Amino acid sequence: MSRRGLLVLISAVALTAVACDTGDGRELRPAGPDQTASVFNSTTTTIPADPAVLGSGLPGEGVGELGLTLRAPWDDEALIDVRFTCDSAGGESGEGLSPALSWSGVPAEATNLAVVVTDLSADGFVHWVVAGIDPGVTGLGEGEAPAGGIQGTNGFGEVGWGGPCPPAGTGEHEYLVQLHALDRDLGLAPGFDGEEVIPDIEASSIATVSVVGRYSAAPRAAAASTSTTVRPAASTTVATTAGSATTTTIAG
């Protein structure tokens, strides 16, 4: 055999050896005539799932900062049951049952908790603000306020829960339910202004978690009066047009 032929034979043997052995005891099929042999390592590293990123996987439960969890009676981003809304009382603003909520994973540094519910589709219209909740409390029942919690005034001008009440024709609204773990007592009195206190709650929050619910109003009969329902506002306003007064009614 010529020297050139010998070199070709040695190269072919080496190529076959590389294609058949990965070095970890496993064998591969030899490379075909149109393939290039390659060596690879299929070992993978499994990274533990981060619950704050992946979520809990449980219906209605959100996972937030520092492992704080919040569970609502509806799936995250799902429809809110009508019993929690103003339509449960014939469309009366501020009516409806407050939802049952439960939570876990409260940081040891928390001195109290706060629940905030706002309408993301109506400039953050306030539906519920409760602060001063003992960090040892793990939830509240339907239609109930947390034991020891201090309730503020909502956007309807009432103390406590004001159910979703989007004006007919405004489409589906998104309602944000948040639980905050606070590192200080805000020293609030019952009936505090919920909208004014939310920035203080957020500034004192060391961990937060949220769940979103959706709701759209069923078509409602036009009111016999001249009152019209529009985008939520902080207070009732009166506009004069063509010599007549038109009342703007709060809703959200």
Contact of 108 with 122, CB cutoff 8 Å? no
Cα angle value 76/140/208 (rounded, 5°): 50
Residue range 52-215 forms a domain whose CATH class is alpha beta
Contact of 249 with 167, CB cutoff 8 Å? no
Q: What pLDDT was estimated at residue 62?
A: 74
Task: Measure the CA–CA gap between 122 and 174, rounded to whole angstroms.
Answer: 9
pTM given for the model? 0.66
How many helices (H) and strands (E) are present in the chain, helices listed first? 3, 13
Calculate the dihedral angle through the C-alpha atoms of 28, 33, 36, 38, rounding to the nearest 10 degrees: 10
Render pLDDT for 13-36 as a digit per residue (tens, 0 to 9): 444 444 444 343 434 344 444 333
Task: Measure the CA–CA gap between 20 and 170, rounded to whole angstroms.
Answer: 67
Give the confidence band of 128 by pLDDT, cuts at 50, 70, 90: very high
Render pLDDT for 130-177 as a digit per residue (tens, 0 to 9): 999 999 999 999 999 887 899 999 999 999 999 999 988 889 999 999
Domain segments of the chain as ranges: 1-44, 52-215
Per-residue tokens: 124: 């953050």
* 122, containing H or E segment: none
Q: Where are the beta strands (DSSP E) in 25-156?
A: 61-63, 69-71, 78-79, 101-104, 112-119, 125-133, 139-140, 150-151
Q: What pLDDT was estimated at residue 168?
A: 83
